[in-house]
Amino acid sequence: MKRTPERLRAGVLSQCRAVVVVLAAIGISSYSQELPDVAGISGRDLLLHVKFLASPEMRGRDTFSPEQLIAGNYIALQFERYGLRPVGDRGTHFQEIVSKHAKVTQPSALEVDGRSLAEGRDYDVVAVGSNSLDTSVVFVGYGVTTRGYDSYAGVDVRGKIVLLFEGNFPGKGGSLISLPQLLIGNAIQHGASGMIFVRGTSPRNKKREIESELSVASLTFPIAAALKIGLCQWSDDVWKKWYSFPFLYVAEEVGDTLLTRTGETTQMLKRKIDASGKPMSFPLSCRVKLQAGVHVESRRTMNVVGLIEGRDPVLRKQVVIVGAHYDHISIAKDSVGIPCGADDNASGTAVVIEVARALAGCQQKPRRSVLFIAFTGEERSLIGSHYYVEHPIFPLSETVAMLNLDMVGRNDPDRIKMVSSGGIKGLGTITERSATDVGLTVEPFEDVGGSDQAAFVLRDVPIVWLFDGGGDFIHGSEDTWEKISAQKLEKVARFCFLSTYRIADYPAVAE
């Protein structure tokens, strides 16, 4: 699970409220189904998948890593064993994603008015662009251009470096519009040649992560979310200039040094801008020389996909998606041990595998087709799920619902949190009945922006997200397979199986 829902929650929630009611008014409560037995879904089998995927040897299954490739092949092997149809690229179980990948390299340097600063202490280079600059600086506050607010009004930043606060813009869509990648795009479109962020100026002094490696694919979802709700503009020219646009973080003391001749500090300016609600931008009299070394190469990752075709010759063209992300991270947040990612998200991946096995073994398949997807890159801003909605195997207009499992193996074994997109009449009846059938209590949860379902919400696809509530173990070395409840996995998998079958088997969908 990606631990940045605050960044995207507002935008995704607004889209969730506008979800097309695909299952509206179909009277599910009056429909009776003969369902296959769920007894074959075993917590023991589920736990075996978790143990493999979250073993220390898998090193966290970070996106683009060799260990994630092993995990993807493991999932594809299970799909092949169970007879799922390979509907990926070139008749395989893989939907391949190729992305430009940037990595900070040496040499790097930064001088302010002839004084050399120390990398790692005074500044850090972010994996964006590689270039050498010798130019002046313009302070642009939050660096935001949106309705009624323009940090670039009245200043000329062409060929110059822009100096920004790190904090969230205190206006509409603040946390989303303040994402560095959106601010970079805005600066490029205004003609800037480089950007410097001042560390320590975000709320509660919470500092953003400095990314020494960055995949362009991880930028596409937040950009799409911001574009969807009109928070930014974007052009092809941004991408053309991206890899020659240096981006640095500097310590707050360095930011104050750049502002010395104005008589202001970063904190003083931040308070003034926040109090007035208006932008404050002006050129500085200092000179900056910098050199940022960033190496760019192409890397590959993949979603793993498998189809169980529906039995109805007409309705089989519609699809229900059951998904979970199988990637995790390579460095634990506590920097101690390996972030094995057992609950996050070997647990959800195991459920996808076993629900696929159970459905494949049904003598009578549901009327609609069911597409199983193990998503890549959830931890890197939804690389895999966003790629899928941009390149769907089935038209999104024919996608009845998307069920996402992200962290479903810990905490109370008899309870699970669930989010469903608004206005899907009848879907609640299905999930309530399925939960009762397996002895699972479902608790409503209101955040739709914390995992892969968010990419589908932005495309108006109804979603269900199952989530155990998490805890302090997320992204830490404590998230190991020994802490997973086989009993909970079994109940969640049975619940997911029944819900999927019922949604996929209903005779007709309302127009």
For 457-501, how does the pLDDT look when each residue is reduced to its tens digit (9 = 90+)? 999 999 999 999 999 999 999 999 999 999 999 999 999 999 999
Structure tokens that stand for 65 in this block? 């890593």
Q: Give 285: exposed, middle or buried? Use CB within 10 Å, 0-12, 13-18, 19+.
A: exposed
156 and 86 together in one domain: no
Residue 13 scores a pLDDT above 60:
no
Average pLDDT score, the chain: 88
324, part of any domain = yes
1, part of any domain = no
375 and 424 together in one domain: yes
Query: How many distinct structural domains can be found in the chain?
Result: 2
249 and 308 together in one domain: no
Residue 320 scores a pLDDT above 50:
yes
Helix (H) or strand (E) holding 416: strand 415-420
21, part of any domain = no
Start-end of H helices in 82-144: none
pLDDT at 111: 97
340 and 247 together in one domain: no
412 and 333 together in one domain: yes
CA distances from residue 124 to 118, 209, 249 in whole angstroms, order as listed: 9, 11, 5
246, part of any domain = yes
Tell me how far apart the alpha carbons of residues 123 and 358 are, in angstroms, rounded to a whole number.
54
Considering just the CA atoms, what is the radius of gyration of the chain in Å?
24
pLDDT tens digits, one per residue of 176-213: 888 888 999 999 999 999 999 998 765 544 555 677 78
CATH of residue 128:
3.50.30.30
27, part of any domain = no
Q: Which of 292, 315, 330 is the last residue before a domain boundary?
A: 292
Q: Which of 271, 292, 313 is the last residue before a domain boundary?
A: 292
334 and 450 together in one domain: yes
pLDDT tens digits, one per residue of 31-62: 445 566 787 999 999 999 999 999 999 999 99
Structure tokens that stand for 186 in this block? 């805005």
183 and 137 together in one domain: yes
pLDDT tens digits, one per residue of 241-292: 999 999 999 999 999 999 999 999 999 999 999 999 999 999 999 999 999 9
Q: Which of 268, 292, 316 is the last residue before a domain boundary?
A: 292
125 and 250 together in one domain: yes
Q: Considering only CA atoms, which of 184, 214, 150, 175 is closest in space to residue 12?
A: 175
**Domain range enclosing 333:** 33-99+298-505
344 and 284 together in one domain: no
233 and 135 together in one domain: yes
255 and 208 together in one domain: yes
Lowest-confidence region among 53-57, 99-103, 340-344 = 99-103
Residue 466 contacts residue 405 (beta carbons within 8 Å): yes
130 and 221 together in one domain: yes
Percent of the chain whose predicted confidence (pLDDT) is above 90: 72
458, part of any domain = yes
Q: Is 52 helix (H, G, I), strand (E, B) or coil?
A: helix
pLDDT at 31: 45
CATH of residue 459:
3.40.630.10
